Amino acid sequence: MLDYIIKKEDNKLYIAQDNFYLIKDETISKFLNKILLNRLNNLSALEKTSKKLFGFKSKIPLFIDQDTLLLSIISHRMEKSLYINYFSIAKYEKTSEGIIIHFHSHHCYRCSSSYAFISQIKKAQKMIEIMRNLSFHLK
């Protein structure tokens, strides 16, 4: 399961997935579009339909599949980016330096963007509730 995706200053992706740390030399858009292509979708269309369906104006969590709902902590349009998979979070705790996120894969990540994280958690919960009401089968 995908835990998180980080884009750093070197423009490479650092991906925590299935207890491995992958490094890819591609954009987040390209990486996500490869995944979404299998579902006959792309990032631009996903963002547009999510905005309309859920009523969000910006920083939309990205529902990729039953196991992947990416929280947009720092958007892929920024120099550095951070996406965290909502479904891979076991728990999180607030600290004076931000938020420590504990994943089901038994590792942790310290996120300094507390407000963005909590805001995305709320949006993800709203999305899940709406999708449940639309008869989607979610966790």
Is 70 exceeded by the pLDDT of residue 135?
Answer: no
Q: What is the pTM of this model?
A: 0.91
- Alpha-carbon distance of 107 to 57, in angstroms, equals 32
At 15, the pLDDT band (50, 70, 90 cuts) reads very high
pLDDT tops 70 at residue 136: no
98 part of a folded domain: yes
Kindly give the residue spans of alpha helices, DSSP state H, lying in the chain.
Answer: 28-37, 43-54, 114-133
Residue-wise pLDDT tens digits, 112-126: 999 999 999 999 999
| Full domain range(s) for residue 69 | 2-133
pLDDT above 80: residue 37: yes
Task: State how many domains the chain has.
Answer: 1
pLDDT over 90 at 87, yes or no: yes
**pLDDT band, very low/low/confident/very high, at 39 (cuts 50, 70, 90):** confident
Residue 138 belongs to a domain = no
Residue 17 falls within a domain, yes or no? Answer: yes
Residue 139 counted as domain residue: no
Contact of 36 with 49, CB cutoff 8 Å: no
